[in-house]
A and B are shown apart, each in its own frame.
Chain A
């Protein structure tokens, strides 16, 4: 079973909840994998301190197989302006390429081939009983979505099984990168905060979950530092709140220093245990 931890807004506590939940489940002897899909700013490793092996991740980009082509100009079909015909040659803008292959299909003489281009690194390993996956987009690269899809594809193929749990720590936002990380999930767990920002972005995130037809549940973080708007939004959308985590300076300090807050703060740990229990019964219900 795969649970994507998402939020819309950044900084609501996705990584705090995802790492705490994964570690709590792992301590119960479940087979658990944590997947950090926030490839632009991955932070899960700072808390879980995994031992990992790394491999470079590539996307396909078009190149002329020889020095010249017949100059048909058909590759200007590119919807992303990533390849431009120039007489009997082409110019390719790698950063704009979506690796769709349309130019290769359109080229009448078969002059275009696809080559690998590195855009980031995928890490896999373990932290105690927990399996760990993450990816890191190279600085200067524009498109994170292919790396997220690649990471999730590899992690799900290796880890997903009915009796195992995969916790996917998603990037912020509600567009392609966030979509790519929640697309395969059996349940989306929204982590929100009771501020107008949290509420605004939660609405978008719920809309995304609905567009994808995903079952959703929610965690309200820093639940005592705001107002009731997110609770109302969640009630209207029919999304259950499985945990309310009040603000504790000790939790914020543990998180700031890279410690696992479940090991430092008893109150917080018990809330994550209750969250894990609530999700267990949710997932049992879903699998029946």
Chain B
């Protein structure tokens, strides 16, 4: 199975709307996974109803046995996250700060600290006419460790196999940290969506460095093309130096946000669809003839 992961480094370059648009021009079914579990938006543009969900547990939180606690405060001293405070002779846990590390329980002589499993989020399955969509929501204030991202990738692959599909496409998280590492591992091709701005160029450099670090094949798609020609030339230079191909350019168009506001993909805007189709054609070529239709 081939796996395309769409990333950007910088947020807001258009990853999600491009993934949704690609799913419409692909001309065949594919499995889709939204790896931006922190701010998951792909489901907004891929119509359908979720038909299944599973709870996602990660880590744990300290719990104090108030009958055993003597208020000695050794746990408060041991905790490096400021998550335990002794108030009125009893240890209290700040759930938002606790990482479930167990340092407190090591120093507790009274065996007064246990750990409760932490419900960190939820994973959803959605059948759609274009193929299965897997998306997830991590609860606020959770540790975005990449574990839920890894689970989204695993379930998406399983859904693809179950449906006899040989292609999965993932909408990646912004940044270059742990969630991105979990999203890109083992990808057949990274499609880096950038924009011609000084920030876009800066962040493109960082995500290309990450692609080299993990030895992944990458291609670049320029969104909002025409916004700033000078930055577009900088993108071309960066890509040439890195030996990375630019697979397409989607023109900047003020009507795109309005289309998104109506729940449509950028394809609804006149003139955009041809550039999306052309980019998808190049991506199919890069993936190799064995998956081309």
Contact = CB atoms under 8 A, between A and B. Distances in A.
A255 B260 CA distance: 22
Given A105-B106, A172-B11, A179-B141, 8 more contacts: A11-B12, A41-B9, A80-B101, A99-B80, A100-B99, A102-B103, A196-B263, A201-B39
A144 B181 CA distance: 12
Contacts of B178: 142-144
Contacts of B174: 10-11, 40-41, 172-173
B258 A79 contact: no
A204 B140 contact: yes
Interface in B1-28: 9-13, 16
Given A175-B144, A211-B96, A144 B11 contact: no
Given A11-B13, A43-B203, A79-B100, A144 B175 contact: yes
B140 A174 contact: yes
B11 A255 contact: no
Contacts of A143: 177-178
Nearest to B96: A211
B257 interface: yes
Contacts of B11: 9-11, 41, 172
B99 A40 contact: no
A256 B231 CA distance: 8
Contacts, number: 190
Interface stretch (A26-34, A123-131, A133-141): A133-141
Interface stretch (B157-165, B192-200, B236-244, B272-280): B192-200
A178 to B, nearest CB: 8
A257 interface: yes
A47 B202 CA distance: 12
Given A40-B176, A197-B260, A257-B198, A79 B41 contact: no
Interface stretch (B48-56, B64-72, B206-214, B283-291): B206-214
A178 B174 CA distance: 13
B59 interface: yes
A208 B140 contact: yes
A106 interface: yes
Interface string A249-268: 10011011110000000000
Interface of A: 8-12, 15, 40-41, 43, 46-47, 77-80, 98-102, 105-106, 137, 139-145, 171-179, 193-197, 200-201, 204, 207-208, 211-212, 222, 225-227, 247, 249, 252-253, 255-258
8 contacts: A9-B39, A10-B12, A15-B199, A77-B106, A139-B213, A142-B177, A197-B41, A253-B228
Contacts of B263: 196
Given A173-B144, A253-B227, A100 B80 contact: yes
Nearest to A60: B80
Contact of A174 (B38, B181, B254): B38
Given A105-B78, A195-B261, A256-B228, A43 B144 contact: no
A9 B99 contact: no
Nearest to B15: A10
Contacts of A247: 254, 257
A219 to B, nearest CB: 15
Given A46-B198, A105-B107, A179-B141, A9 B41 contact: yes
B142 interface: yes
Interface centre among B41, B175, B196, B200 (most CB of A within 10 A): B175
A145 B12 CA distance: 21
Nearest to A10: B11
Given A10-B39, A195-B261, A200-B41, A176 B227 contact: no
Nearest to A101: B103
